[in-house]
Each structure stands twice: as C-alpha cells, then as structure tokens.
Structure 1
C-alpha cells in the first residue's frame, strides 16, 4: 500500500483518484540549461510525502538537491552543480575538486579518497607511469554516467521509484573501475536506499578506496542542531594539534554560521547494531526535522564528521569511509588498502532518511543511544586509536 495524505491506498485506489500517478509521486528526466550547470541530465524524484530530491546522471548519479515540504536538507555550495566538462580535477595542486563540490551527496573514489597523494604505479606495468598522482577525493564525482533505466515499479500495491546507471573510471595503462548505482525509494516514504557495486573490469591489480561526502545544509543545520551517533571513541580531530578549543566549536552541538571559520574534521569510532548497521543523524529540535544516514559497518568501517561552518558555505558532512582519515599511503603501509583483481567487486548498501517530526527524532536518538553512549563533552580528547581494519591483506 502507498501512504498518501494520511491514508493507505491500493494501486486501484490511487488510479481512481488521478489519471496518472505522477500527480502524486514519480521520477522525471530533466536537463539543466543555464550557467555552469548547462547540459547536465538530472532525474527528479518526488516520493509523495513532500520529499523531493534530484540525481545528477552526468555527475556519477550523485544526489544534488534534497528538500522536505519546502525545507532544504541538502547543501548547495557556491560552485554549483557544475557540468563535468568544466571540471578542473588536476588544478590548484589537487584542490580544484572543490570547484565542483556541491550537493547532498558527492561520491569520493574509486581508487583514491582524502587529500592529494602520489603512489607507486608499478601495478600497471607501464614504465613512463612510475607514479599515480591523485587529487583531492578522487575522480569519480565528475564522470558522466550511462542511464540504464528509471521509473515506477509496482510490486503489488507498493510502488518503488528507482533509477540505475553505470559510471566508468578508466584509462590506458591504468585503472578500469566500474560503479553501478541503483537508487530506490518506496512511494509514500522518506527512506532513500542506495546500492552501489564497484567492479574491476580491467586486468591490472587496482586499489579501491570509497567514501560518501554527505552534506547537510540549513535549516537542518542551524544553531543548536545536534550530531547524533553511536560514538564509542573520538579517534582523531584535524584541529587537535593546535588549540583544540580555539574556534569554540565541538563535535556535538552546532553554532550559527561563523566568520573566518577553518574547517574541522573528526573521525569517530562507531558501534553497530545487531544487523551490523551504523545510524548517524543531524537533527534540528526547534524545527522538528532531521536527516539520518544508515551504513553497514563491514562496508564502511570508518566515519568522519566534517564541519564547514563558514558563513556562505554552511554545511555539516557525514562521511562513511572504507579507510581511516590517515590517507592513501597509510592505508597501503598498514595493509588496509583494498586491492581488486579482474572481476573483484565491493558492494555498499546505505539508507538516507528524513526525520519528519519530534517523534521520529526521539525514536532515532533512542535507537542510537541504545547502541553506545555519546560523550556530552563537546571536546573529548582524541584517542589516536585507529583500529586496524582486517581482511584486506
């Protein structure tokens, strides 16, 4: 059954009330036609609850806009949803990735995440390529995808809105990795389900690193918004080596937009539930709205919190990752880098959920606190304990 306007309706009930289901919910193919976004194909999802989000086909099927009943959830940066033909991945010493960085979710990978890095290129058996140079967060986010399909799929009286596509990151004498992404939401709900499969289609042994840069904006992010997580340990904080409290912003309670704020990044060690799932949320108690991300601990063993609280760029990032924040070289040295041979694959299943009222926020907080207590102290001392990630030798 589809829950619409407080009633559970069968497919027949819905058909009797309108000539097309698109009156209530659906998926629509569109194209952006102005400014730096001109030419990008986009899918618009409407679930029938007031939830609307867009998927950028030509930006790795990442999620761009997201709003619920007129309230923004996702983050729009000054860079805009720039056409991939304008991307400057190699520029500014590897930081030009930031000039295409915007949206609720930006995928990082497929062979590299985190800061710039040079690694040995010997696995690709090509003399002139002695090293592989990586810019910030990898190449995948600005690669156009191939749209395999989208639309409505009725399963009895349930309607699933979906899209699926393939994004290829490949080069001669180098990696050939393929991302297949499927996004689904059941009509009448607020749970966006993301299923990714990364496969090595090439015949070179290839590294794989993966991260979702999930960016929540105002008004979910606001003064006194709270970060909720089953946090067992604060492992690392980028700013802890200086004056830890210098900016007056801890990990748990968010301030209003700040002037001259320097980004803060934390790594937290999370507890998982009996299904191996890790829920993390940002909630605004005043407005009664929140955003929750649920990932699988065995797929994403690490979790970062990104605070970009600068005025004009105000965002909070929830970042599940395959690797510690220590970076690519450390992952290699610690034996924690994933290596894919031809045909090897990794799968990732995640849920993005809108918390629509105080009751939903309370239920999520209760579930999270049952997994692990969360430090009330805004500045818990980082432990430096990056737990070894096994099974990757």
Structure 2
C-alpha cells in the first residue's frame, strides 16, 4: 500500500516541534523552569514560519500566473506569426501562379501576333511579289487576248482573205513582185540590176521572221504579211457579172468557197504566230511571247528566278501555299494556250487531209459513173 506523502508545511512544523521539544527537555533536565519561555518561542517561531509560508505561497502563485500569461502570450504570438507566415506563403504561391498564367497568356498572344504577322506580311505570307505577280499575269493574259483579234484582222487584210476576189490575178501578182523588189530586194536581184539591195533582203520569204519580235509598222512586220500571202498562193480573179449565173460560174464560186475555207486555217495559224511576236506600245514595247518569256524566267533561270527562290526560303507556310497556288494557276493558263494550239494543229491537219483527198474524190466519182454506165448497158442488152 502506498503511503501518503506529508505536505511540506506539516513536515516543517513537525521538525520545528521536535527541535523545541528537545530544547525544553534539555532545559528541564538541566534544572531550569523554562516552560513559559518555550511556549512563547514556539508560538513566535510558528507564526514566523506561517508568515514565510504564506508569503512564499503568494509569491509562487503570482510568479506562476505571470509565467503562464507569458507562455500564453508567446503561444498566441507564435500562432499569429505562423498564421501570418502561412498566409504569406499562400499569397506568394497564388501570386506566382497568377504571374505564370499571365506570362503564358502573354507568350500565347505574342505567338499569335507573330503568326499573324508572318501569315499576312507581303514578304512572308503573300507569296512572291503579290501585286507585281498579279499585274504581270493580267498583262500577259490581256496580251494573248489581243493576239486573236490581231490575227483575224491580218487574215482579212491581204488579197488572200477568205472569199475575196481580185480584179486581176496577174495584176495582183505583179503588185506583189513590185512590193518585193521595193522592200525585200535580195543581193542576187540587186546584182542583176532588178532592184536596190534592201535592209531586209528576202524578208518576205523568210519564215524565221514570224518568230521574232517586231513592231507593227516595222519592215519585219510587212515582211511577215508578205510571207503569209506567198505561202497561201495567188489570189483568184473576179468573175464577170454575166458569168456568175452560169453553171460554170456557180461551180467556180463553190470551189472558191471551198478553197477559202481550207486556206483560212493555215492563214489564221500563220497570222496568229506573227501577232504573238508583234510588239505593243501598251506593254512596254514587248510582244506577247516576250511577256510570256519574262513570266517563265521568274521561275526558271535568270535574276528573277534567283530572287524568287531566295524569297521562298523566308516564306511562312501560308506564303508557300499561296505561291504554289499562283504557280498552279499559271500552269493552268499555259495548258489552256497549249490546248488552243493543239486545236489549230488539228485543224491544219484536217485541212491538209481534205485538200489531199480532192483528187481522189474526182477519181472516185469518175469510177462510179463508169460503173453505172456499164451496169446500164448490160441491163439494156
């Protein structure tokens, strides 16, 4: 069984009582009457001890309260500081996240702006020289659009125009000869004393001039017109009015229309070649073929191709797509021109075939008539 420990105050009183009791016993044993004095001393010491214990208790309790208050204040301060520190950490994290989000948004906006700049900049996003390329393509298309009208006018202006009859075939051929000696006198003719050597000798018989650029009113342009007339042959003379109503006259006119129809195909082809190489003042004195050559040189050879390929390396994806579209459009336009050229070639071959088979028609008709007469004679017999 556990003994209960005596309080401190009681243990002090018990020790003092034992001390006093021993003194009294000692005094009594020494023969002195000390009872009154001893009681007085005991009471005095007891009171003194009680006072000291009370003072100690009060002081101790007060100190404990002060220390407890200090501890509570310290804990409260530490708690407040921890709370403030935690809030500061939370705020710092939130601020950093907001800053990061703002930075990401700014980067995205910057990337979007940069992409828009690259996509729509005239150098990186619109293909090579967008305005210049559009103007050159339109100019080229207009130039070749005029070729047809100019060729048609050329075919209708010479003495071999479809359906045209001259007053005198001999006179027309004599005029051609005079024109030749006046403008295209060759060295042999000059040596023979027939004419004066020309600046363009034999130009009216030189097919190479058809493929060279020349101004409309130049000597080369006149040489090309004369060359086309020489190729088509001599013109047909007009019929007298009285002969036009005869069977022979009507047959002649029918053959004339057939001849004109056949000759109109090569006449138009030759005139179109000449028109495609005729320079125009509205196109900086360049012919349609020269304009076409400049457009092709932008992509194949020359300084234009170097500038074009150099800019391709700086283009964005959008610019490359636009440039590829422009090149595809130019290719389509060229294919259309080639398609028209193939049509003219087919027409010339068809006309050549019809002209070559003209003799066969007469032979076939004669053979058919002969066979018909033989069959009729056998039937009569």
Report the TM-score, using the length of structure 1 for normalisation: 0.20
Q: Which has the higher helix share?
A: 2
Q: Which has the higher strand share?
A: 1
Report the TM-score, using the length of structure 2 for normalisation: 0.20
Larger radius of gyration, structure 1 or 2?
A: 2
